[in-house]
Amino acid sequence: MELLTPVIEALLGPDGMIYFAGAAGLILILLAAPMVMTKKVEPLDRIAEQRKAAVLDDLETERLSRHGKRNEHLAKYAKYLETEDKEELSKTRLMLTRAGYAHKDAVRTLTAAQLLLGLGLMALAAIYVFVLSGGMSMTNTVLYVMGPGVAGYYAPKYWLTKRVAKRQEEIQDGFPDALDLLLVCVEAGQSLDQSIIRMATEIEPSYPALASEFLMVAQEMKAGKDKPDVLRSMAERCDLNDITSFVTVLIQSASFGTSIADALRVYANEMRDKRVMRAEEKANVLPTKLTVGTMMFCVPPLLIILIGPSLHGIAATLSGTASAF
pLDDT in tens, 171-219: 988 898 899 999 999 888 888 888 888 988 888 888 888 898 898 888 8
Give the CA count within 13 Å in the CB-facing half-sphere of 115.
10
At residue 14, the pLDDT reads 67
Q: How confident is the model at residue 8 (pLDDT cuts 50, 70, 90)?
A: low
Mean pLDDT for the stretch of residues 266-293: 86
Q: How confident is the model at residue 162 (pLDDT cuts 50, 70, 90)?
A: very high
pTM: 0.64
Question: How large is the C-alpha radius of gyration of the chain?
Answer: 31
120 has a pLDDT exceeding 80: yes
Q: CA 271 to CA 175: how far, in whole Å?
A: 8
Question: Contact, 144 vs 33, CB < 8 A?
Answer: no
At residue 127, the pLDDT reads 84
Q: What are the boundaries of each domain within the chain? A: 4-165, 166-281
Q: How confident is the model at residue 79 (pLDDT cuts 50, 70, 90)?
A: low
pLDDT in tens, 51-75: 655 544 443 444 434 344 455 666 6
Q: How confident is the model at residue 316 (pLDDT cuts 50, 70, 90)?
A: confident
Q: CA 203 to CA 307: how far, in whole Å?
A: 58
pLDDT above 70 covers a percentage of the chain that reads 77
Contacts by 154-158 with C-beta closer than 8 Å and gap 24+? Answer: 154/114, 155/117, 156/110, 156/113, 156/114, 156/117, 157/110, 157/114
Least confident among 42-46, 162-166, 196-200: 42-46
Dihedral, CA atoms, 134, 136, 142, 145, nearest 10 degrees? -30
**In this structure, how many other beta carbons lie within 10 angstroms of the beta carbon of residue 55?**
8
The closest of 184, 196, 190 to 250, measured between CA atoms, is: 196
- The 3 state secondary structure assigned to 254-288 is HHHCCCHHHHHHHHHHHHHHHHHHHHHHHHHHHHH
Chain-wide mean pLDDT for the chain?
A: 79
42 has a pLDDT exceeding 80: no
Q: CA 216 to CA 256: how far, in whole Å?
A: 25
At residue 69, the pLDDT reads 47
Give kind and range of the element (H or E) at residue 229.
helix 227-238
- Residue count of the chain: 325
Alpha-helix runs per DSSP H in 38-137: 43-55, 58-76, 78-81, 86-98, 106-127
Kindly give, in sequence order, each residue whose CB lies less than 8 Å from that of residue 258, ignoring residues fewer than 6 positions away: 252
298 has a pLDDT exceeding 60: yes
Mean pLDDT for the stretch of residues 303-311: 84
pLDDT in tens, 209-246: 889 889 888 888 888 888 889 889 988 988 888 899 88
